[in-house]
Amino acid sequence: MKNKVLLILIGVATIYITEVALAKNVYFGSAPETVPVAYGAATIVRFEEPVKTVSNAADFMIRPVSPDTPDYAVLSVEPRQKLAKADVVFILASGDMATLRLKSVPAEAKLKVESVYDIKSQKALVENRAAATPYIGRLELITAMIRGDQVTGYEVKKESHEIASGIPETKVTLLKTYTGGDFKGFVYEVENLASDRSLEIDVRGARFGEPNQAVLGYTERSILEGAKSSSNKTLLVMVTKPTASSSEALLPIRITKPGNQNSKG
């Protein structure tokens, strides 16, 4: 007898676990969301809060799963006819309206459709995604930019246009922009085209508009030697406030050492 009871309990637990595992999330918003339901079987729809009213549901039998202890957040849906289809409106306790396009499918196809649906608001989806997105600070952002990595929450756009530096024979090219988070990022390539002088880059002097929106900077090489040297170019990486524009950038480049002594490869 004990073995039979244990077997029954295991069977119930297995059914419950399977039911939970098969649940499909459906996020409702302003447009109807399609929910296929098998004819001749009960499909369970679970809401995050109790349902107050249901309308336009004449072709479906909708009731609490447990009639003895009714929970109006967990409902059973059964089509009354084989070709039942309707945009059924569920008014929730909070006043939110979920419109589900219930559509009957043949009984033989019931194994191909979900038996349990979790109905959630699109607002909850957005909030969950926001909560799941890790905070990216300025140090994390600039580190990722230096490495050339993708950054969660940021869109990386490849660029390829020159920026005026204000210094003759100096080429500055914007390579990438990072946008979408609490900061904005710019990756430049700076190249010294003159053979008779060196350039110095001091990231502390960078300016992006007034008031200055520069936050943090990094360069691989602070001194750029003459054009004949292999050390005549470098990357300049800048993190700014999100409203900064590259068109307002005053990059911290200056002539430091004229002459050929710094132009050796």
User: In this predicted model, what pLDDT tens digit does every residue of 93-151 receive, in sequence order?
Assistant: 999 999 999 999 987 776 677 889 999 988 776 666 555 556 778 898 999 999 888 88
CB burial of 55-92 (b: ≥16 within 10 Å; e: otherwise) equals eebeebeeebeeeeeeebbbbbbbbeeeebebebebeb
* Both structure tokens of 243: 């409203």
Which three-class secondary structure state does DSSP give residue 56? coil
Distance (Å, rounded) from C-alpha 127 to C-alpha 136? 17
pLDDT interval class at 81 (50, 70, 90): very high
Whether 21 shows a pLDDT value over 50: the answer reads no
The larger pLDDT score, comparing residue 149 to residue 63, is at 63
Alpha helical stretches, state H, 32-173 = 122-132, 138-147
Whether 263 shows a pLDDT value over 50: the answer reads no
| Residue intervals in the chain for CATH 2.60.40.1550 | 2-131
Closest CA to 107 of 74, 83, 76: 83
| Residue 170 C-beta-side C-alpha neighbours within 13 Å | 22
Whether 4 shows a pLDDT value over 60: the answer reads no
Cβ-based burial of 132 (10 A; exposed 0-12, middle 13-18, buried ≥19):
exposed
What pLDDT is attached to residue 9? Answer: 34
pLDDT above 70 covers a percentage of the chain that reads: 83
What pLDDT is attached to residue 166? Answer: 86
Distance (Å, rounded) from C-alpha 67 to C-alpha 239? 60
What pLDDT is attached to residue 133? Answer: 57
Q: 138-258 in CATH: which number? A: 2.60.40
CATH class of 2-131: mainly beta
The mean of the pLDDT values for the chain is 83
Cα torsion angle, 134, 139, 143, 144, sign: positive
Are the C-beta atoms of 46 and 66 separated by less than 8 Å?
no
What pLDDT is attached to residue 61? Answer: 95
Which three-class secondary structure state does DSSP give residue 52? strand
What pLDDT is attached to residue 16? Answer: 37
